[in-house]
């Protein structure tokens, strides 16, 4: 055996023996019970929360130094913020011998997190007394989370988010230091992959959510975003920019050929409709409050479908009897236009969905188009109409989401030229909408109805103010 090789083996054996001796000494003199109070004190002081480790703790001294603990809890003054079934923290041994802490890996098994942001935008683990104090930089090579769950209540925005059975693989986390700054914001950098079995935003839920996250200082990009909703796979992306005085957001999302029946199951217990529709949206907003985000909302929203069936009512029969019996409000049809782009957010003061609970007949909807433009929080109808086998209905006006008002919203029955035969308006707030009486521009006598069914105009040789000139064609 050569001398260099022999020397290397002796040196390696010596280092190994030293590490074994160090492990035995640490096991004898530094028990988990001795370290537990100090660990709890340090974490509690750093986060402003109380750490309780109720399960066993173990050390592995070989490089890296590994601390494993079980059944740990973080509490604020009022309630538990987080718990974890098992946690593993690996710390680089070399820097530790020099008095520096460099965390290499954190593994969390079944963490449960529930916290809120208050009306002032503060989190329970943010201590305002530390705003002017030095906060050192933090680096973490890898964070792995398995079977985690999160409930976040944002009182400032009035929203609740819940994620269930989530797996996270985060890499190269860097959180910069803060040196006595009056603005203690610390924007992280990292890359990550996230997947959750279920995700809920207030009363709306989806399944199999996944995406790739990249944070680069004060920007965040979520790409390769997919989700299962209403029997379809949606795809999208989200960008957040926090470099300015207020955060800015840009989002794109599409849900092709979703099941209409599954969607309406979230609104009604009985079957309402059948068929499939395409939904897409491109939106941007800026602000740090819900009102500010609504006021700045810009973009486009689209809902399209063909060969749909509406159960519980025969709209063609309703239209034929409309002037005589006055038993049907055109604005009831607004529910069909609102449901896709806006959900039922604009219908809380009026039971638009009453059309869904009728029990006689059905309607074949040949085409439904709901295209909207959004500017400064106001959505305006760009091309909004639907056609049954015999009639065509269109919508004009806007919905002011920022101030929760209807902006001269009008629904009309139109002829082949797009001229309004009868129209009805809704104005006022979402809470207290005012339904105007239907306004007839011509008498819906039988000859007029026959003209409509044949796709002809009711104003031959007479110029009319065109109410609708969009993509939904008149019945043939």
Residue 79 lies in a domain: yes
Is the CB of residue 187 less than 8 Å from the CB of residue 150?
no
Domain with 126 in it: 39-186
Can you give the pLDDT at residue 422? 82
Residue 178 lies in a domain: yes
Residue 146 lies in a domain: yes
Residue 171 lies in a domain: yes
Each residue's pLDDT expressed in tens, for the chain with a length of 476 residues: 444 444 444 444 434 444 444 454 444 444 556 667 766 776 666 666 788 888 888 877 666 778 888 998 888 777 788 899 999 988 777 665 665 667 788 999 999 988 888 877 777 665 544 444 566 777 888 999 999 999 988 887 778 889 999 999 999 988 887 766 555 567 889 999 999 999 988 767 889 999 999 999 889 999 999 999 999 999 999 999 998 889 999 999 999 999 988 887 776 667 778 999 999 999 999 998 878 998 999 999 999 999 999 887 788 877 777 654 455 566 666 666 665 555 545 555 445 555 555 557 888 999 999 999 999 999 999 999 999 888 889 999 988 888 888 888 888 888 888 888 888 888 888 777 787 877 776 555 445 555 555 555 555 555 678 899 999 998 87
Q: How many domains does the chain have?
A: 1
Whether the ω angle into residue 274 lies within 30 degrees of 0, i.e. cis, is: no
Residue 72 lies in a domain: yes
3-state SS track over 313-378: CCHHHHHHCHHHHCCCCHHHHHHHHHHHHHCCCCCCCCCHHHHHHCCCCEEEEEEEEEEEEEECCE
- Count of H helices and E strands in the chain? 9, 22
Residue 65 lies in a domain: yes
Residue 156 lies in a domain: yes
- The CA-CA-CA angle for residues 344, 348, 351, to 5°, reads 90
Closest CA to 298 of 234, 372, 242: 372
Residue found under tokens 């492990």: 23
CA–CA gap between residue 215 and residue 189 (Å, rounded):
5
CA–chain centroid gap for 381, Å, is 24
Phi, psi dihedrals of residue 163, rounded to the nearest 5°? -120, 135
Is the CB of residue 268 less than 8 Å from the CB of residue 341?
no
Pairing mode of beta strands 420-429, 405-414: antiparallel
Can you give the pLDDT at residue 380? 92
Can you give the pLDDT at residue 325? 44
Bridge partner residues of 174 (DSSP): 139, 189
Can you give the pLDDT at residue 155? 82
CA–CA gap between residue 263 and residue 250 (Å, rounded):
25
Residue 107 lies in a domain: yes
User: Running DSSP on this structure, what letter comes out for residue 403?
Assistant: T
């Amino acid at each position: 055996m050569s001398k260099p090789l022999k020397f290397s083996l002796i040196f390696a054996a010596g280092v190994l023996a030293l590490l074994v001796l160090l492990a035995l000494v640490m096991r004898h003199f530094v028990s988990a019970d001795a370290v537990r109070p100090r660990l709890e004190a340090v974490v509690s002081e750093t986060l402003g929360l109380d750490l309780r480790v109720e399960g066993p703790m173990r050390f592995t001294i070989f490089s890296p130094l590994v601390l494993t603990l079980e059944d740990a809890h973080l509490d604020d003054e009022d309630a538990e913020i987080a718990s974890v079934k098992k946690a593993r923290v690996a710390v680089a041994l070399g820097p530790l011998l020099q008095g520096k802490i460099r965390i290499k890996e954190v593994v969390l098994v079944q963490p449960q997190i529930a916290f809120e942001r208050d009306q002032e935008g503060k989190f329970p683990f943010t201590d305002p007394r530390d705003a002017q104090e030095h906060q050192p930089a933090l680096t973490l090579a890898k964070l792995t989370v398995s079977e985690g769950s999160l409930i976040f209540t944002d009182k400032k925005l009035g929203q609740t988010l819940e994620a269930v059975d989530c797996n996270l693989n985060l890499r190269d986390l860097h959180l910069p230091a803060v040196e006595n700054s009056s603005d203690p914001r610390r924007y992280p950098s990292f890359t990550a992959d996230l997947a959750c079995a279920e995700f809920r935003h207030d009363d709306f839920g989806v399944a199999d959510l996944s995406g790739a996250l990249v944070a680069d200082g004060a920007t965040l990009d979520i790409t390769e975003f997919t989700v299962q909703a209403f029997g379809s796979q949606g795809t999208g992306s989200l960008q957040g920019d926090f470099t300015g005085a207020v955060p800015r957001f840009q989002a794109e999302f599409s849900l092709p050929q979703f099941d209409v029946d599954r969607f309406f199951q979230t609104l009604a217990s009985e079957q309402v409709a059948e068929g499939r529709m395409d939904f897409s949206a491109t939106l941007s907003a800026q602000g740090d409050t819900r009102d500010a985000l609504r006021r700045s909302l810009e973009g486009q929203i689209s809902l399209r479908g063909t060969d749909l069936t509406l159960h519980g009512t025969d709209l063609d029969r309703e239209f034929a009897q409309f002037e005589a019996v006055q038993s049907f409000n055109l604005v009831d049809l607004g529910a069909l236009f609102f449901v896709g782009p806006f959900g039922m957010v604009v219908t809380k003061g009026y039971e638009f969905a009453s059309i869904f609970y009728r029990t006689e007949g059905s309607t074949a909807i040949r085409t439904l188009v709901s295209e909207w433009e959004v500017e400064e929080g106001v959505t305006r109808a760009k091309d909004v109409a639907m056609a049954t086998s015999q009639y065509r209905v269109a919508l004009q006006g806007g919905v002011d989401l920022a101030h929760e008002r209807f902006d001269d919203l009008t629904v009309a029955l139109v002829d082949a030229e797009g001229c309004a035969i009868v129209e009805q308006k809704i104005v006022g707030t979402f809470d207290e909408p005012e339904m105007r009486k239907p306004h007839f521009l011509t008498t819906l006598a039988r000859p007029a109805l026959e003209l409509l069914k044949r796709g002809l105009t009711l104003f031959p040789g007479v110029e009319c103010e065109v109410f609708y000139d969009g993509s939904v064609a008149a019945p043939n």
